[in-house]
Structure 1
Amino acid sequence: MSVGPVTRDDVVRAAETIRGRVRRTPLLDGSDIAPRLSLKAELFQHGGSFKARGVTNRLAAMTAGERERGVAGASAGNHAIALAWGAAGEGLDSLVFSWSGASTFKLDRASALGARIDMEADDPSDAFARLEEHLERSGATLVHPFDDPLVMAGQGTVGLEILEDAPGVDVVVVPVGGGGLIGGIAAAVAPRGVRVVGVEPEGSAALLRGLEAGEPVPVAPETIASGLDAPFAGTRALQVCAAAGVEVVTVTDAQIAEAMRRLYAEAKLACEPAAAAGVAAVLAGAVEGDSIVAVVSGGNVGPEIASDILAGR
């Protein structure tokens, strides 16, 4: 099966590149939450999310000249943390463009790791525009949060680990923002006959709209799941997901909050709202299978937001 611009071979190569640099995260029993459910605990990754995988693979491909000019990206938080962590480990200058309303908890973590943060943008689209202007002026290397083949391949290593730990898996359920994670996972597991289901908040359905249109469609995200608020789904992710037959379902913010509470209470996973989206779809009956793995994609959430959701406020 061909899955477009990122192939299974790309993901296998990425796994070799990042081996020993990122954590191999555990696959946990989730049957207390739903029958036949397992949980891929990416919240235990360096930086608290799967993003470290893609960043590590992208930085490994940089030339000496690129390293001198530093790296830059745009992010609401998780990619910022991963880029700051990866750049610090490589001794690189890093600049992240974010926007008003983004998670101060996540951006403070990125800043503490050494990234410079630009908060002048009003929204995600403006942040990406400011990023493009900076790249043209500075010659810095773009480390895109999702629409980059090396980033996607690195993120797809989550899928390889799932296949190793759950060889009987028939469905992998993935929270979706810009589509880099689900694109990489689809490239890794779809050629092995595994269904991939993407889950988006109703208020931020960029992948669903993009697949319907056959091209990226700008959206104005409105959701409690700040990690899933990309302003569009990446072109490469759309190509991979279309070729792999990825299915997409949406869930409400209330369903995400309930899934987050269930993960905290029953699996003892202190995840962020975005990471609970896959489990939300399973609990809602939107995903069925004989062996389901839901990716719990990250654990970076401010204490005020977490306490409000866990308390049902």
Structure 2
Amino acid sequence: MHQQQLGYEDIKAAAERIAGRVRPVALAPGDGTGGTGDAGAVGTPAGPELWLALEYLQHTGSFKARGAQNFLRTHREAATLPDAGVTIASGGNAGLACAWAARQQGVRATVFLPATAPRVKIDRLRSYGADVRLVGTEYAEALAACEEFARTSGALASHAYDHPLIAAGAGTLLEEIHERLPGLDTVVVAVGGGGLFAGVAAAALEHGVRVVAVEPEHSRALHAARAAGRPVDVTVDSVAGDSLGARRATALAVDAARGPGVRTVLVPDAAIVRARRTLWDERRIVVEHGAATALAALLAPGDHGADSDSDEYGYRPSDGERVCVVLCGANTDPADLSAPPRAH
């Protein structure tokens, strides 16, 4: 178990450490994305002001490059990178980031994935020179194999999300967004294990920015942890399970969820699929289902705005609210986006 709190000083240190080694986030106005529909006139003059953070343009295709750089550079500076290299268990994106950063540091990366991981992620991992090992059908099984490998090989164990250096690296994303949108009211992020959310929440607290944490309704580790008062295991059964499929939220995320200005909401898989398709149809943006989960909060049923702390479905911004939705990853097969939607 790692520390249960993450401070703004951790985010600032990470930002200095990875400066020039990751791509600055690109922002785009979200005019019309999602239409008016259930989202409540998003992008219209009378409605909220929507922005999209295009973090899927990051190295390795997701925000995970930030945490991987922070983690490995910290160990390089401390001379604690072993000859056996680094190992990580991942649904795909964290493994890609770890392998990419390890190659830059000249160390080996051994990555454990569930056998259900998308082929596009497996192929990219191997292109980075990683030793890819497929174990089980869920992230938790890959994690157990990774931990055993670290014990027996001496490799440095990284983590997909449950480490303060990983979360702090992820939090640098909010620093960059806030610099470009100084009047930002709300940031919307998808949650799996909670590393991105914990880091973003730490930076957002410093700047007075509200955080809306979005989970698939059938992969709700953070919701379950808040209800129980501690991290607990949940069942994972979501279209976004390959990247948001953690069985339990990190203690860092649970602590962050108790902070002021944090909302946690759920979205159904149908809204996630719709959001992903909307991004393609209206903007020719290709993201994975996990990334579309954040936008889905604006398309899902619900009427929970700035003055609500209800843990239910969706998020409806208020008129004039400046909202940034993080599109966090695009390691996906776009083949299904070009086909017409099936009739129901």
Pick the TM interval, shorter chain: over 0.9
Contact 2:286–2:334 (CA under 8 A) maintained in structure 1: no
State the TM-score, normalized to the length of structure 1. 0.94
1:115 and 1:241 map into 2 onto residues whose CA distance is 34
Between the aligned partners of 2:91 and 2:199, the Cα distance in structure 1 is: 20
Aligned pair in 2 of structure 1 residues 228, 238: CA closer, same or farther (>3 Å)? same
- The match for 1:13 is 13
Residue in structure 1 matched with residue 106 of structure 2 by the alignment: 91
Report how far residue 283 of structure 1 moved: 2.1
- 5+ unaligned residues in a row in structure 2: which ranges? 34-41, 44-48, 303-313
Give CA deviations for 1:58-79 in whole Å, capped at 9, x if unaligned: 0011143424221011111111
Deviates more, 1:48-57 or 1:84-93: 84-93
Question: Offset at 1:194?
Answer: 1.1
Aligned to 1:294: 325
Aligned residues: 309
- 2:334 maps to which residue? 303
Q: Would the alpha carbon gap of residues 265 and 210 (structure 1) be closer, same or farther in structure 2, given more than 3 Å must change? A: same
Report sequence identity in percent. Answer: 41
Which of the pair is proportionally richer in helix?
Answer: 1
1:186 and 2:201 are equivalent in the alignment: yes
C-alpha separation in 2, matches of 1:294 and 1:235: 24
Consecutive unaligned residues of structure 1, counting only runs of 5 or more, are: none
Give 3-state SS (helix, strand or coil) of 2:160's partner. Answer: coil
In the TM superposition, what is the alpha-carbon distance from 1:244 to its structure 2 partner? 4.4
Q: Is the 8 A contact 2:231 2:249 kept in 1?
A: yes
Moved over 6 A (4+): none
The alignment yields a C-alpha RMSD, in angstroms, of: 1.6
One of 202, 215, 218 as aligned partner of 2:230: 215
CA distance in 1, matches of 2:180, 2:235: 37
Q: Verify the 8 A CA contact 1:171 1:196 in the aligned structure 2.
A: yes
Partner of 2:131: 116
- Please point out which of 76, 86, 91 is paired with 1:76: 91
Letter in 2 for 1:253: D
2:28 aligned partner, one-letter code: L
Whether the aligned pair in 2 keeps the contact of 1:198 and 1:247 (CA below 8 Å) is yes
User: Which secondary structure state, in structure 1, belongs to the residue aligned with residue 24 of structure 2?
Assistant: coil
For 1:178 and 1:134, the matched residues in 2 are separated by: 22
181-190 or 33-42: bigger deviation:
33-42
Compared CA separation, residues 169 and 65, structure 1 to 2 (3 A): closer
Please list the CA deviations of residues 176-231 of structure 1 after superposition, one character each: whole Å capped at 9, or x if unmatched: 11100010000001222211011111111111111211221112211111211112
Aligned to 1:227: 243
The code of the aligned residue for 2:325 comes to A
Q: What CA distance in whole angstroms lies between the structure 1 residues aligned with 2:209 and 2:291?
A: 21
2:298 maps to 282
* Partner of residue 38, structure 2: none
For residues 271 and 73 of structure 1, what CA distance do their matches in structure 2 show?
Answer: 23
Shift of 1:266: 2.1
Alpha-carbon offset, residue 4 of structure 1:
5.5
Whether the aligned pair in 2 keeps the contact of 1:156 and 1:187 (CA below 8 Å) is: yes
Report which of the two structures shows the higher radius of gyration computed on alpha carbons: 2
| CA offset digits 1:77-106 (Å, max 9, x no partner) | 111111111111111100111112121211
1:181 partner amino acid: L
